[in-house]
Amino acid sequence: MRTLLGSPITRGLCRLAVQNSKRVGEWSFRREYFSTSAVCFAGSKYRPSSCTNMAQKVPFVQFNNDLKFPIFGLGTWKSPPGEVTQAVKNAIDAGYRHIDCAHVYGNETEVGAALKEKIQEGVVKREDLYITSKLWNTFHRPDLIEPAIKTTLCNLGLEYLDLYLIHWPQAYKEDEGLFPEKDGKTVYSDVDYVDTWKGMEKLVKKCLTKSIGVSNFNHEQIDRVLAIAEIKPVTNQVECHPYLNQKKLIEYCKSKDIVITAYSPLGSPDRPWAKPGDPQLMDDPKLKEIAQKYGKTTAHILLRYNVQRGLITIPKSVTKSRIEQNIDIFDFELKNEDMECIDTFDCNGRFCHLNWIKDHKYYPFNIEY
C-alpha cells in the first residue's frame, strides 16, 4: 500500500510549485493590504484554556443524511509522514475528533498509526472519531473508485470512513502515477465527475463510508451532481477565509442543504507554491487589531470567523502548541460588527487556485462561484 505514497507525491507537488511559481502573481487585491500600520502581536493577552473536555465543547453540524459531524477538525495536507503521527495523537489528546485526510497527502498510513494508538490506549473509540478522506483525480473512472477507497482504508487501518469526498471535479489520466505529466503539463482524463458520483454512491451502499461529498466544486457542478444523485453530497469542501469568504457559494449550498467545509482557513502559508512577498492572511494588520481587542491570536479570529458562520473548519498544524491553541475557540464570540468588518476583507484571494490546469474542461474556478 505504501507504493502510492511518500516521496513521489512530494516531488509532484514541488514540481508543480516550481513550474507554476510564475503564474501565481495573478492574484489581485481589492483592498489595501499593507495600508494599516502593523500591530505587533507580542502584547497579546491570549492564554490557552485547559484542554480537558475540549472535545465536548466542539459543536456538531447535522448533515442532510441526519448524521452529525464535528464542526472543527485537523487538516493533514503537507504534514510530513515523520511528524503527522505525533500531530494526530496530540490533536486527539487536545480534543479533536475529526481528522481531514486524503490519499494524495501521502501520509495516511502515519495518520492511521496515531488513530490505532489512541484507540488502543482507550483515549477514544472508533465511533468517537470522524475521519474524512478524498478520492484523488487519477481514480475518477468508476472501476477505480472502490479500489481507491480500499487503499485508503487499508492505509488508515479502518473498516469504514465517516466521509469520502471527490477531491476535485477534474480527472487526470489514469495509471500513470498521481501527477501524470507530459512536457511539463498535467495529462487530463475526460471522465465526467457525474459518473464518478454514481460510483461514490456505491461506496455508501457497501458501507465503506458513511457519507459522501465533493470538494472544490462550483455551483454549476453541484447542480449537475444533484440532477443525477440518489444520495446527495453532504458537504462541499472549499477554500474559505476572509480573503475568499465564499458568500455566494455558501448561500447556494445552504439552499441545497449542503454544508460547507472550509479549508486553508489560515491562508495556507505552507502551500508549496507560496512565494516571498505573497499576501499572508495571518499577518493582516486589521485582523491583528481585532485579535488584540479580544486578547486572542489572529489564528483564533480566523477560525472563529468560519465556525461562527456555521462552517466546518479544518486548520492544519503539526505543532503541539498550535494544535492546542487552534481548537480553543469555543469560549468567545465575535461581535456582529467584527464579523461584518471581516466580511469586507473579501478580495477573491484564492491560495489554492491550481491555475496551471485552468484549461481542464472541469476546472472549477472559471466561473464566479
Ligand X SMILES: NC(=O)c1ccc[n+]([C@@H]2O[C@H](COP(=O)([O-])OP(=O)(O)OC[C@H]3O[C@@H](n4cnc5c(N)ncnc54)[C@H](OP(=O)(O)O)[C@@H]3O)[C@@H](O)[C@H]2O)c1
Among 155, 170, 216, 292, binds ligand X (CB under 6 A): 216
Q: Counting contacts by CB under 6 A, is residue 319 touching ligand X?
A: yes
Q: Counting contacts by CB under 6 A, is residue 318 touching ligand X?
A: yes
Q: Per the structure block, which three cell numbers stand in for 320?
A: 503541539
Q: Give 78 or 116: the residue with its C-beta nearer to ligand X.
A: 78
Reduce the DSSP state of residue 70 to 3 states and report it. strand
Q: Counting contacts by CB under 6 A, is residue 215 touching ligand X?
A: yes
Segment 241 to 280, residues that bind ligand X, using CB under 6 A: 263-271
Nearest Cα neighbor of 232 from 207, 254, 201, 206 is 201
Cβ-count burial 295-325 (b if 16+ within 10 Å, e if not): ebbbbbbbbbbbbbbebbbbbbbbeeebbbb
Q: Counting contacts by CB under 6 A, is residue 162 touching ligand X?
A: no
CA distance 267 to 240: 9
**Interface mask toward ligand X for 83-112; x: CB under 6 A:** -----------------x------------
What are 68's strand-pairing partners?
A: 62
Least gap, CB of 84 to ligand X (angstroms)? 10
Q: One of 33, 96, 105, 172 is an active-site residue; which one?
A: 105
Q: Counting contacts by CB under 6 A, is residue 81 touching ligand X?
A: no
CA distance 287 to 344: 12
Which residue is at the shortest CB distance from ligand X? 75
Any catalytic annotation for residue 252?
no
Least gap, CB of 326 to ligand X (angstroms)? 5
Neighbours of 195 (CB within 10 A): 14
CA distance 245 to 57: 25
Q: Give 206 or 358: the residue with its C-beta nearer to ligand X.
A: 358
Q: Give 336 or 369: the residue with its C-beta nearer to ligand X.
A: 369
Half-sphere exposure of 134 (CA within 13 A, CB side): 25
Binding residues (CB under 6 A) for ligand X: these are: 75-78, 100, 167, 215-216, 237, 263-271, 282, 297, 299, 314-319, 322, 325-326, 352
Q: Which residues are catalytic?
A: 105
